[in-house]
Structure 1
Amino acid sequence: MTNKVNISTDHGADVNAVSEAVARRLKRERQAQKISLDELSRRSGVSKGMVVEIEKCTANPSIATLCKIAAALGLSVADVVNVADTPAAHIIKIQDMPTLWTGPLGGTARLLAGTSGPNMIELWRWELYPGEAFTSPGHPMGTTELLHVEAGTLHFTVGEIDLVVAKGCAAMAKTDAPHAYSNHGKSKLVFTMSVTELHRPAREL
């Protein structure tokens, strides 16, 4: 199964508007930082062809790909999809919350809110139908996830650790290792998740 970004219009941001925002923001930031396509590809580990297609708004990148490119530019995913904002307190309306993944059976992952990068916090809401799963190759060092299950049972695998998180329970994990969320039950799984990514400043010589 591929974890492609599938920006949905169901109770969230318009698919075309979000795709265009992603393309526009990445290109603007890359040019502002005077980073070539080749250099961004090298820093992010994403092929130059994919970077070009994203900037042209013709690609369907995975969430992991967006994370890599955003990090290479010192941004968060929330920055890229226009969920982050600068005021100290502000409201994010439901139509501005993009669905960044849609599963084969209708499951979704929505980015509810997030702060600007590179140090960032994101708030997600996931729904997985029976048999659905999402896998991640792992985030940068210093990434922590907190999860709370609202309905169903979450099977959460992080590296060699397997956790079964029941309704009403929560979990915490360092997610710089490969990890996966899956629904092995017979009813819909719903959980909220925060992602915190902290980058330590380089030591001064």
Structure 2
Amino acid sequence: MTDLDHLTQSLARNLKRLRTERGFTLDALAARAGVSRGMLIQIEQARTNPSVGTVVKVGDALGVSITSLLDYDQEPKVRIVPAEQAVRLWSTEAGSHSTLLAGAEAPGPLELWSWRLMPGDSSTSDPHPVGTTELLHVRAGVLTLSVDGEDHQVPAGTSASFESHVPHGYRNDGDQPVEMTLAVSVPAPG
């Protein structure tokens, strides 16, 4: 079984378990997440590899991190994630990519990411639930951080934090790759 097969199977199993634990019907979760009922059925039956955006919407609707949706095993108290098990969820032909390094669920979903943005590349995100906070640290290059339509320059060695319940995105307007570490904290549901 390939890594992609493992991820597809884990996503199917975890989505069904989490949806059932929360008492959501397929229709209720579809409405809450803003995705079709048919897409949820395909995910739960491991018949599709949904986009990162779809996985994020479903995770937000369930109040869990992407890590929880993709996790192969139940989480132990200490979870070591070897480099080969980090999950690359976004990439471009130019060489930009984001990799989910680790995540946790207490008190709400918490994710740690490594990003690389090549010159001219960008990634936008839909608003997360109210109360979601992102922290980032730029290791190389100059990041253009766009939050609710306003751009902010974040050079190497600089950190930023922002509430991400508004449209936001990351852009490399420079001529050098941007390397950054990003943490996302989503409030617990309810």
Do they fold alike, i.e. is TM over 0.5? yes
% same residue: 38
Residue in 1 that maps onto 2:47: 58
Which one of 96, 111, 117 corresponds to residue 128 of structure 1? 117
Residue in 1 that maps onto 2:80: 91
Which one of 137, 142, 148 corresponds to residue 126 of structure 2? 137
Which one of 134, 154, 159 corresponds to residue 170 of structure 1? 159
How many residues were matched structurally? 189
Residue 37 of structure 1 aligns with an amino acid whose one-letter code is L
Shift in Å, 1:86: 3.7
2:143 is aligned with 1:159? no
CA distance in 2, matches of 1:81, 1:53: 15
Residue 21 of structure 1 aligns with an amino acid whose one-letter code is S
Alignment of 1:8-87 (within 5 A): 14-82=3-71, 86-87=75-76
2:172 is aligned with 1:183? yes
Report SS of the residue matched to 1:58.
coil
Report SS of the residue matched to 2:183.
strand
CA distance in 1, matches of 2:107, 2:128: 13
CA distance in 2, matches of 1:105, 1:61: 22
Which one of 142, 149, 164 corresponds to residue 138 of structure 2? 149
Per-residue CA shift, 1:59-108, capped at 9, x if unaligned?
A: 34333321221232332211011179643323111122111111232211
Shift in Å, 1:125: 0.3
Q: Which moved more, 1:48-57 or 1:135-144?
A: 48-57
Q: Specify every segment of 5 or more residues in structure 2 that has no aligned partner in the other structure, as ranges.
A: none
Q: Specify every segment of 5 or more residues in structure 1 that has no aligned partner in the other structure, as ranges.
A: 1-12
Per-residue CA shift, 1:12-57, capped at 9, x if unaligned?
A: x922221221122112322444432212112222111221222233
Shift in Å, 1:158: 0.4
Question: Root-mean-square deviation (CA), in Å?
Answer: 2.2
Alignment of 1:194-205 (within 5 A): 194-199=183-188, 201=190
Residue 152 of structure 1 aligns with an amino acid whose one-letter code is G
Distance 1:117 1:138, change over 3 A: farther
Distance 1:40 1:118, change over 3 A: farther
Residue 108 of structure 2 aligns with an amino acid whose one-letter code is N
Q: Which moved more, 1:80-89 or 1:160-169?
A: 80-89
Distance 1:193 1:83, change over 3 A: farther
